[in-house]
Amino acid sequence: MTDLATALETKITRGEARVGTLGLGYVGLPLSVEFASSGLNVLGFDLAAEKVAAVNRGASYIQDVPAARVKELLGAGRLRATGDFAELASCDAVIICVPTPLSKTKDPDLSPVVEATRSIAAHLREGQLVVLESTTYPGTTEELILPMLEERGLKVGQGFFLAFSPERVDPANPRYGTRNTPKIIGGVTPQCTRVATALYGRAIERVIPVSSTRTAEMVKLLENTFRSVNIGLVNEVALMCDRLKVDVWEVIDAAATKPFGFMPFYPGPGLGGHCIPVDPLYLSWKLKTLNYRARFIELAGEINSGMPEYVLTRVTDALNERERSVRGSRVLVLGVAYKRDVNDVRESPALDILRLLESRGARVSYNDPHVPELRMNGETLRSVDLMPAVRESDVVLILTDHSSYRYPEIVEHARLVLDTRNATRGLTSTRILKL
């Protein structure tokens, strides 16, 4: 190892290193808290003044991060937030945790990563470690970030260190959080990998080094492409079962009794969250530049993105059978978050379904105990009182199976329930229709 690498590793081991996290969202704040809890001094950076202010008063806006923990670390002097990027120069390690969305044309939008890297490059000093956690296509770290950081003359592996470590956040997961989810590390050089491994080893229970940044980048995309493709498969099986008049949920439960060679995935109204609907498209886009078509990814995306339209068809057919049209019918949507027991609506299929129902003239309302307000089409929608809305609606549409819902009571008082999540499992009623 170089002397600089040895010095940084020693500083990390002794708990003397300062860590900077760029982006204090779903990835950055939990990671900041874990590094601070490990005894390191952490400085969080964000452009949003309200996030900076919240951290600096000991508050938390992330569901999985208790405010008491933030307050404790703040009081101990191990956690602070700022919007002053000149303070990057004081950090020994800088971790990029900014969003990587898609553009309107479904191409990768790396502008947040580029802006974050520019801020780091402007204050880069000898001996610093830079790690990208934001999900992206293979090659980003070395093709995009590395040249920007080397512009001022420092060389990677000698003057500074660069690695990629994919975030693996699963909001509201009761078993796995930041600390006990294994961490993949891939550096540009062996020295980069070793220093980054030393850093994450302070806060994460298990760290797995891999041979390169490209490998680490591909790991993340494989994980979420695996989920996207298998959800696409089971969504298509649901469409098949509908035509075959077979209960898809019974089929899956029965297949899951096989102790080998099968892993259950479940159908739903579409894909949501930042990762699964987006990440496979990063890989598909990259492969197009190499004259290769990712056929499985494209087909799964086509099936998954078509599920909101299928849900609309099921609502329409169910109302028609009861001699009602969608236009003018009162539809209550239960759950607009993208998954159970979270307040995150990013890429939620519920938003598409709400728009589709409104475009057909339905009188739509929603209830979600985790999302009291929702911005759509320039308007603010508010979660309605549950049981009065259940009684007044022509159809109750379960899109997110929050654990706080009392499904027997909902079914008892609803005129019709269309359940896209099998939330009413075990209930028998002619008022229940399944996906």
Q: How far apart are CA 289 and CA 9, in angstroms?
A: 38
Which residue is catalytic, options 97, 192, 241, 275?
Answer: 275
Confirm if 138 and 221 have CB atoms less than 8 A apart: yes
CA separation for the pair 54, 28 (Å, rounded): 14
According to DSSP, the β-strands at 41-45 and 18-22 are parallel
Q: Based on the residue annotation, tell me whether 97 is a catalytic residue of this protein.
A: no
Torsion of CA 107, 110, 111, 116, to 10 degrees: 170
Distance CA 373, CA 319 (A): 28
Would you call 58 helix, strand, or coil by DSSP? coil
Compute the distance between CA of residue 209 and CA of residue 329 in angstroms, rounded to an integer: 56
Unique residue bearing structure tokens 């079962």: 241
186-212 core/surface letters (b: 16 or more CB in 10 A; e: else): bbbbebbbbbbbbbbbbbbeebebbeb
| Cα separation, 68 vs 73, whole angstroms | 9
Contact 373, 381 (CB under 8 A): yes
The one-character DSSP state at 33 is H
Cα distances (Å, whole numbers) of residue 4 to 7, 21, 141, 229: 5, 21, 21, 44
C-alpha 22/C-alpha 39 separation (Å) is 19
55 DSSP assignment: H
Catalytic residue annotation: 275
